[in-house]
Structure 1
Amino acid sequence: MNSLSLAHLTILDATPPVLIAAAADAGFQSVGLRLVAPSPLDAFDSILGSEAALRETVRCLATSGLSVLDVETFWLEPDTDVTGFLPAFEASARLGAGQLLVVGNDPDGGRLVTNVARLCETAAPFGLRVMLEFIPYSKVRTLEEAAGVIRTAGQSNAGVLVDALHLSRSGGTPADLAGMTPAMLSYAQICDAPATPPAADRLRAEARGGRLYPGEGALPLDALLKALPPDTPLSVEAPHARYHGRTPRERARLAFTASSAWLRRHRDHA
């Protein structure tokens, strides 16, 4: 059975303790936590650097019974020094996280592969798996490109993260997963969206605040679920503009209700 995790981007204005409480109340089995900002323009109050905040987050996880599916967001830029992520790796291990959400944004393919390999080697002692997410507006735009980077990096603790929205908007289809080994697909992100994509310069805005909950749009989610390995954990990453003014608990419940209903429909027709 596919477990459901609540991605931090779905309720990005929530602190980790608030997100965890909302996810547990809604029925999610795990959460994703943002510890690192994608860029300086995305600055936020991270629990990194605050021992008290980290301890409180660990306590909330223990109380709720939830686990941490993944930690984000590690963007690999041309000037990235992966050792700078060590504090985040240490915190991730304390939180019990298993995977790191990584984005490749370096136009130099050779350097990117080197940094992905170094990231894997640095993260391995902490029990962390590096999952490279392809995004149409990053330098690793497609499933094929992401898989090529991971294969060339040659690390056992690396895989490709498939986001239903990015797969569609990059021109891919669930059938493209046929060439992937199950070991490369340790979890996936789901949401929904209209079939017609926005203009290229609006893709980022759609991804960060204009998604729909599973079952509300036209993405081929049933086909994607069939293409994934059985029981792949699913992270619900769906920042929904219509519900931005709702409380974290309300948004978590809406996201879980829609996602679990879609999963039930899929199983009934499988």
Structure 2
Amino acid sequence: MINKLRRGKSTLESMQAANNRKILINLGSAHTVIDRFIQKTGDPGDLIDLKKRLTILSSELFNKDRMQFNVKVVTMDDWNSAEKAVIDSSEKLAIELERQLTAGLDIAAIEGYTDAVSNAILNRLQVTPELNAHYGKILKNKKSELKVNDGVSLEFDNYLNSLLAKYANFNPGALHMGGNPDNVKWEYTSGSKSVTATMTLRGGTSLVFETRWEDETDLAGLVKKEIASVKKNEYKCLCLVNRSWDGGSRDFARRFEYPKMSLYLHDLKEGFYYNNSNASAVHYKSWFSTELKKKA
């Protein structure tokens, strides 16, 4: 698993996890543009190497051994500056690559921006107990609130980041109705409590993976609305996440059957509930796991 999910009350770690999500979006955007250049050029060797570097950088975001653990006292300003450096450098890389789509390919410039991201990750600062304690005192005065309470926020943020890392490196190689699509458009976005990935095939057919936090207790009513929103020529896989699901909701998910949608309930304590007798639901379930491994 990528960055094994765990419970915790470290608000700074929650912030770092949220920052990781922004960085992964930027690296994923850069990854997508490089893929486009690879398809256009006759000698993609350098581009393939850059693509591999971006994949490695995405993984290194979760490698605490890469971060600096300074003996000296680290201030909040130090920590914030180091976080900002990673976010800003990844954003500049993504913007530069988008610019090159129209201005023309410049390998040296891409390498320079990629080096900046690598250095920023290397110089990132770990969250120390002392820094956490200091920040905790600041929060007492500000009465800051987490979007999802009781330590679940960090676990959920890490889960979304794991999905983003997966979607940045892989897309579905085979569809539930058979066939291996080519010339597809693969995009993914992140909200405060959600991640959505969309694959658009020639002819307008699309496959949508949506993962989001859900507090709605009327699951049947919610799913009815989701079904009504599924577009023509679209297949949707919806994963609803909560710290736990009641027995009725679990049974509903296990029985759910619809030609254009699969439903997954992710229980942060127990795992997934879905209709494992439905071939389409089984086919796409791995795309909601945190394993950084290409599957169909």
TM-score (norm 2): 0.30
Larger radius of gyration: 2
TM-score (norm 1): 0.32
